[in-house]
Structure formats: structure tokens, C-alpha cells
Amino acid sequence: MRLSLLILSFVLAIRALLAGTPENPAGDPGAFVGSFRMGIHIFKKGTQETTSTMDIMCWSTGEKLLYEVTMPNGQRKIRMLTDLVDDTNYALIEQEGGAHMAMRIKRPEATKPGANDGERPRITVTQEMRTIGGRTCTKVIAENAEGTWTGWVAMELKSPFVDMARAFEGQAAQRIKHVNAEVPGFPLEYEWVPATGEDRMVCTIKDLVVGTVDGKLFDLGGYQVMDMPSFGIPQR
């Protein structure tokens, strides 16, 4: 159960940045290329749950995405590769003895744009600014009936979250899409507070590298590839 909740938090962290944003074609010049580390922190009634913190390392070429999720105890890592060209996910598994397996899952066709978009948010781009990682960020607030998203956005950077949402999505996340295409840029820090006000989720971006990524990270050479059914992946 704890694992499921943490993965759901990751999904929400990604989909919370989107509201009717069109998908980028694989290799689109508007796609993010580079790498970064995302920290997700869950707070319950004002107190951080130390057992809920996740560390996610992300790499993107614009055509492929690779994620490495480190669970709170630091003992377990989950790695997933997404090929945006053919909409295929690979769960990468390293077994004892050095064997490597890639569980291939073909994602079902997405629903038409605009389906189940839900309530569009009220977006405010403020005049407040702060520096994060040497980059000037603008405070952006998005609100709807579900809650409030507050982010510090580096407007000059391309966002990776549109492509990331193609790999991690679901019905619960679909209900919480908050910042749309009219707000460009890369949020280097953001907070999501549900309307109940009891809990909140804080995400921070570190180790940001823009424009370069090692293509060898995406090589499936040496992996035994096995096909898995896609019935477990919800559609948009």
C-alpha cells in the first residue's frame, strides 16, 4: 500500500502541472532535453512524513525518457524507460546474478484531446520572483475546486512534464491538472495543497542539466525483453 501511494504521488506531481496541454510529438523541438532530480515530500497536518519522501532521477532525449525512483528507505529502486516514438513503456529489472530484464508494455491509444479535461484552473502569474539553482523563477498560482498549485517557474526553460505525463498517468491524476500551455517554463519548486487543507505535497528540482544527455542510458542491449499485457494502464 505504501508503494502504491508513493507512486500515485509521483503521478500527481506530474499531472498537477498540466491542464489541456497538447502532447509534444516525439523529437519535437519544444521537448525538454537533459536531466534532473526530483524530490517529492508529503506533509500530513503540517508535519513531514519522513517515510514518504521519494527521490526521482529523470533523463530525457525528447524521444525517450528514463526514470529511476528511489523509495524512502533507499533500499529499493524502480527504473522505467518510455519510448515516446511508439508509446511503449519498459520496466527495467536487474536480477541477482547480473541478469537484466525489460518488461515491455504497449500503452493503449490515448483518448481524444479535451476528453475528461475537468475544470480548468484559475491561473495567476505573479510579479514575485526568486532565484533557485542560479535561475530566476516566477511565482505562478493555479486554483480550482480540487485545490491550489503554487510553483516557482523558470520561464526560459522548456518543461519536461508534458512528455513525462505520457508515461505516468491515471484517472486520479487526470482530475488534478493545473497549469496549462499558457504558462511556459520549468517549475523548479512547487507545492500542491488539496482543498481539504490537511495535507500538502512539495516537489523540488535539483541537479538540473539542460541540453545534453548520455544516449547510452537508454540502450536496452543486454536486456531480455518480455511483453506484458497493457490492461493495467489506464487511458486518458
236: in domain: no
First to last CA, the chain: 24
- Mean pLDDT of the 67-89 span: 82
Q: Answer yes or no: is 235 within a domain.
A: no
Asked, for residue 95, whether it belongs to a domain, the answer is yes
| Interatomic CA distance for residues 170 and 233, integer angstroms | 8
Integer Cα distance of 48 and 38 in angstroms: 17
For residue 45, with 0-12 CB atoms within 10 Å meaning exposed, 13-18 middle and 19 or more buried, which class applies? Answer: exposed
Residue 131 and residue 230: Cα distance in Å, rounded? 42
pLDDT tier for residue 85 given thresholds of 50, 70 and 90: confident
User: Looking at the domain assignment, is residue 233 inside a domain?
Assistant: no
Residues contacting residue 99 through CB under 8 Å, at least 6 positions apart: 224
What's the whole-number average pLDDT of the chain?
A: 76
Assigned domain for 12 exists: yes
Confirm whether 234 is domain-assigned.
no
Q: The pTM is what?
A: 0.76
Domain of residue 145, CATH code: 2.50.20.10
Is residue 137 predicted with pLDDT exceeding 90? yes
**What is the per-residue pLDDT across 27-73, written as a single tens digit (0 to 9) for each?**
555 688 999 999 888 888 888 877 777 888 999 998 899 989 887 76
Residue 22 confidence class, pLDDT cut points 50, 70, 90:
very low
| Run of H or E including 162 | helix 161-167
- Total domains in the chain come to 1
Whether 59 maps to a domain, the answer reads: yes
What are the angstrom distances between the C-alpha of 119 and each of 128, 180, 186, 210? 26, 12, 23, 33
pLDDT at site 122: 86
H/E segment holding residue 104:
strand 100-106
170-188 confidence digits (pLDDT tens): 433 333 344 445 567 899 9
What range defines the domain where residue 99 resides?
2-228
